């Protein structure tokens, strides 16, 4: 009997302990539910009703978007274009710079004009500062200077930037014409760092010439090739800051790097 009494007391104590713990647990649960109910209205704050208000600006805000292809139609200030990657829409305004590329010849290359020369890799000289031209594009100087053209995002030239020590023959030359004598054009160039150089360009009977000149929206027409630069809006339409057009070649448009877009 003496051993039974302590056991009974211990049993009652355990029951009381469990009951107390259960009560504390229920109280804590109730507190948690109250806390959750109290914070619920805070979670539905006004900031969540407009999730786009804090969205960071897109990469297109830098104005590096571009569209290149064949003009399907022009309606008002909107151009529908067929690109190699699919359809695209271009919007323009009176402030959009429009220029047109047309066929030219050697006599259009004069001292003071600006040129962009693509070298002929097969026949170009690998020594000195001379190249043989595969194509020459001429344009008028602006305030006596030749600005360096900006390439569309993702574009590449037909003559990629050479590695150190690569021959001058493989470089695309841009600059101002110093002189034209016979089949030789001397071009003065300035790189982004401000360093100047002079290149002798030899032209042949197979050299192709084009000229680029400022024009207006009247030049935008169905069937022409377009290269437009600007910023795409939320709907994917390019808001053009500059547009260049030229005639298609049997329905084909030139692509960056000298390739042609077949339709």
pLDDT digits (tens, 9 = 90+) for 47-95: 333 333 333 333 333 458 999 999 999 999 999 999 988 999 999 999 9
Q: Same domain for 180 and 231?
A: no
Q: Same domain for 178 and 199?
A: yes
Q: Which two tokens stand for residue 164?
A: 């150190």
Q: Can you tell me the distance from the alpha carbon of 113 to that of 41, in angstroms, rounded to the nearest whole number?
A: 69
Domain count, the chain: 3
Range of the domain at 129: 113-149+170-210
**Comparing 33-37, 97-101, 178-182, which segment has the lowest mean pLDDT?**
33-37
Q: Give 43-57 as a DSSP string.
A: HT-GGGG-GGGGPPP
Inter-residue contact 135 to 209 (CB < 8 Å):
yes
Q: Which two tokens stand for residue 111?
A: 């001292």
* This prediction's pTM: 0.62
H helix or E strand, kind and range, residue 17: helix 4-43
Q: Can you tell me the distance from the alpha carbon of 100 to that of 212, in angstroms, rounded to the nearest whole number?
A: 6
User: Do the domain assignments include residue 119?
Assistant: yes
Q: Same domain for 71 and 40?
A: no
Burial (CB count <10 Å: 0-12, 13-18, 19+), residue 186: middle
How many CA within 13 A on the CB side of residue 66? 19
Q: Same domain for 44 and 78?
A: no
């Amino acid at each position: 009997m003496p051993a039974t009494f302590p056991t009974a007391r211990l049993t009652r104590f355990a029951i009381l302990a469990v009951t107390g713990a259960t009560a504390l647990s229920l109280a804590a649960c109730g507190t948690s539910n109250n806390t959750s109910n109290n914070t619920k209205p805070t979670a539905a704050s006004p900031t969540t009703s407009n999730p786009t208000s804090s969205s960071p600006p897109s990469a297109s805000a830098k104005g590096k978007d571009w569209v290149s292809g064949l003009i399907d139609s022009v309606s008002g200030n909107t151009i529908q274009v067929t690109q190699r990657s699919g359809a695209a829409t271009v919007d323009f305004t009176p402030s959009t710079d429009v220029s047109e590329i047309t066929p030219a010849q050697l006599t259009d290359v004069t001292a003071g004009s600006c040129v962009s020369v693509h070298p002929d890799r097969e026949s170009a000289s690998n020594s000195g500062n001379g190249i043989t031209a595969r194509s020459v594009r001429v344009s008028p100087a602006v305030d006596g200077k030749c600005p360096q053209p900006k390439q569309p995002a993702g574009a590449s030239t037909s003559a990629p930037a050479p590695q150190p020590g690569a021959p001058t023959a493989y470089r695309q030359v841009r600059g101002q014409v110093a002189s034209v004598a016979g089949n030789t054009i001397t071009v003065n160039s300035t790189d982004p760092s401000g360093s100047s150089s002079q290149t002798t360009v030899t032209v042949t009977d197979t050299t192709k010439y084009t000229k680029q000149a400022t024009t207006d929206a009247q030049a935008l027409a169905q069937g022409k090739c377009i290269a437009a630069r600007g910023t795409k809006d939320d709907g994917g339409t390019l808001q053009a800051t500059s547009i260049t057009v030229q005639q298609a070649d049997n329905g084909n448009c030139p692509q960056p790097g000298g390739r042609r877009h077949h339709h």
